[in-house]
Structure 1
């Protein structure tokens, strides 16, 4: 069942910003996802690094280019905190590889999921995140790649990211120029925030990505429980309007982790994406 108002535009305008975040069709490899987007006339794709590595970087670039798709971002870099200096350096090195992959694939946005604390000291972990970004910025800039800090919902603080609000992400990003570091606004992660719209205004000129899905009630799974737009409680159109009003005009990625979605045919998923995008985004 779909909820919400329907906004009517021309077909081109409807889908010109639509991007498939590849995790939404996790059952597909990169070739399948590229070919599926081409069939569905979805113009953008956001690959995940493990899918690119399975296919090979050069082959991935060729598949995407030959299909006429554009790459909205590469997911993901980050995961900076670690217990030892050696492990932290390994993570910086991996982030540099991610920058190189993003540039090779033709996107200027590397999404950063910043990582959890290796112990109980969340304050020090946030300092490690800040230090990691500082080390990565000059390298990324040399490749023309911007770093998009994606704050996650606070329920992920212990295992995925100590950056759990748009306020924290903005604070980290503001240490750099907007053409170096910005933020990624994912409605699943930020919809709950009582300061959300102030923080979106604060992020003006720094929003490097906008991700949509929905928060199901009850939430079926902490990680793999996101729903199609309109199936949950997020006022996606209001958040979209706020992001638009501060000047974001880039692609809109549909990013859904959900076992039920992953178990169905990918082409069916893409049709659902298009239908719900029109009605609820």
Structure 2
């Protein structure tokens, strides 16, 4: 469960309700921590027996983006990412800290990729010292020039291979990549470099935050789940739903039902498309 899915809930509410829903692992979102109470709140993870499998830093893009416009300089943004690792890594051993490139200044994607390889190599080495990983997430073309300069698994793998560090890999969000050409082959080839998987469903977006409950949209899950399974990935599938600034926004409704319905739908698809084909 990603804490983005339950954005209206507080950090403590997340832990309490996730436990009641049978959630054992979460994607921790730094922006949910309260300034001055971070260590106290992070300590609650052990109390609830909740393991962070991934982390969304408050500043996770190399270049300024719509969601994270400040600070402006790459060096300062990297330092913010490092401070997130220093704060959260002791409570999240082995977790994958998610990063995005941010939009390409002047549209120069090649320069972003070159910069990303250089900066992420150093960042991965820093993270390794804290026993955690870094996962690069390609985003939907909807978010090009807004949040990202790369939008396919293949482009992300170019950066990952260029970085060349064992603890630097891929955050695979099906909502973002499902429409890519040959995406199933790209997923399979990514193999052990897949560090985390995000799931939600797609309908034609009406805002930047408009994802759907699994089973209510258009994503062809069976071949995608089969490709992930064949790649060797055996980690958790994280429900990450943004739903804001649209009629009937999920963030304004019954979020427990969103979790329950999505889990049931994913389990059904998994049984029929993966277990049934094993």
Q: Who is 2:137 aligned against?
A: 150
Q: Who is 1:8 aligned against?
A: none
Q: How far did residue 46 of structure 1 move? A: 0.7
Q: Which moved more, 1:269-278 or 1:232-241?
A: 269-278
Q: Who is 2:273 aligned against?
A: none
Counterpart Cα distance in 2 of 1:73 and 1:179: 16
Q: Who is 2:223 aligned against?
A: 238
- For residues 150-172 of structure 1, give each alpha carbon's deviation from its aligned partner in whole angstroms, at most 9, with x where no partner exists: 11012211010112110111111
Q: Who is 1:220 aligned against?
A: 206
Q: 1:251 to 1:57 in 2, by over 3 A?
A: same
Counterpart Cα distance in 2 of 1:55 and 1:235: 44
- For residues 185-217 of structure 1, give each alpha carbon's deviation from its aligned partner in whole angstroms, at most 9, with x where no partner exists: 11101100112122112211110001100111x
Structural RMSD (CA): 2.1
CA contact (8 A) 1:73 1:102 kept: no
Q: Who is 2:274 aligned against?
A: none
Q: Who is 1:162 aligned against?
A: 149
TM-score, structure 1 length as denominator?
0.85
Higher relative contact order at CA 8 Å, sep ≥6: structure 1 or structure 2? 1
- Residue among 18, 32, 43 paired with 1:37: 18
Unaligned runs of 5+ in 2: 271-278
Q: Who is 2:38 aligned against?
A: 57
Q: Who is 2:242 aligned against?
A: 257
Counterpart Cα distance in 1 of 2:161 and 2:106: 27
- Residue among 95, 101, 109 paired with 2:81: 95
Counterpart mapping for 1:193-208 below 5 A: 193-208=180-195
CA contact (8 A) 2:136 2:169 kept: yes
Counterpart mapping for 1:76-155 below 5 A: 76=57, 78-81=60-63, 87-107=73-93, 108-155=95-142
Q: Who is 2:267 aligned against?
A: 278
Counterpart Cα distance in 2 of 1:135 and 1:269: 39
Q: How far did residue 239 of structure 1 move? A: 1.0
CA contact (8 A) 1:25 1:261 kept: no
Q: How far did residue 139 of structure 1 move? A: 0.7
What SS does the aligned partner of 2:115 have?
A: helix
Q: 1:39 to 1:55 in 2, by over 3 A?
A: farther
Q: 1:140 to 1:29 in 2, by over 3 A?
A: same
What SS does the aligned partner of 1:204 have?
A: helix
Counterpart Cα distance in 1 of 2:53 and 2:187: 20
Is the aligned partner of 1:24 residue 2:19?
Answer: no
TM-score, structure 2 length as denominator?
0.86
Counterpart Cα distance in 1 of 2:50 and 2:63: 34
Q: How far did residue 55 of structure 1 move? A: 7.5
Q: How far did residue 125 of structure 1 move? A: 2.5
Counterpart Cα distance in 1 of 2:89 and 2:211: 29
Q: 1:124 to 1:234 in 2, by over 3 A?
A: same
